[in-house]
């Protein structure tokens, strides 16, 4: 029994409204991760700028890393070169980890 099947699709009737257009534009600008996802790395950098506390690592839920760096900074504070390197690296690491969290979602 051979026969031909014909499939016909009805075009969808879509209504375009200004809010929908703005939603699509925002989705494209933020990469589909929403306003908080787009702002998360910037916020992570801002709170990482507070010295001695390593809040960027806490914000990214890396509490062990933040605690370890707090202990490491105690002897490094006596040095003029090594502590600023750790401070700058903590800011970069916070931004990097925050971007990884967004990319995995």
Q: Tell me the pLDDT tens digit for each residue of 48-88.
A: 999 889 999 999 999 999 999 889 888 887 788 888 999 99
Among 88, 16, 23, smallest CA distance to 51 is for 88
- DSSP, collapsed to helix, strand or coil, labels residue 36 as helix
Q: Tokens for 74, please give them.
A: 């105690």
Cα–Cα distance for residue pair 9/31, rounded to 1 Å:
31
Residue that is written with structure tokens 């809010």 in the block: 19
Among 36, 33, 101, 35, smallest CA distance to 62 is for 101
Mean pLDDT comparison of 12-21, 28-37, 73-82, highest-scoring range: 73-82
Q: pTM for the complete prediction?
A: 0.59
């Amino acid at each position: 029994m051979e026969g031909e099947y014909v499939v016909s699709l009805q075009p969808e009737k879509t209504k375009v409204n200004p809010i929908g257009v703005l939603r699509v534009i925002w989705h494209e600008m933020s990469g589909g991760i929403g306003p908080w996802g787009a702002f998360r790395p910037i916020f992570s950098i801002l709170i990482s700028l507070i010295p001695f506390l390593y809040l960027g690592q806490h914000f990214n839920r890396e509490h062990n890393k933040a605690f370890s760096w707090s202990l490491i900074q105690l002897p490094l504070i006596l040095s003029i070169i090594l502590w600023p390197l750790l401070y700058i690296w903590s800011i970069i690491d916070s931004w990097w980890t925050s971007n990884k969290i967004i990319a995995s979602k």
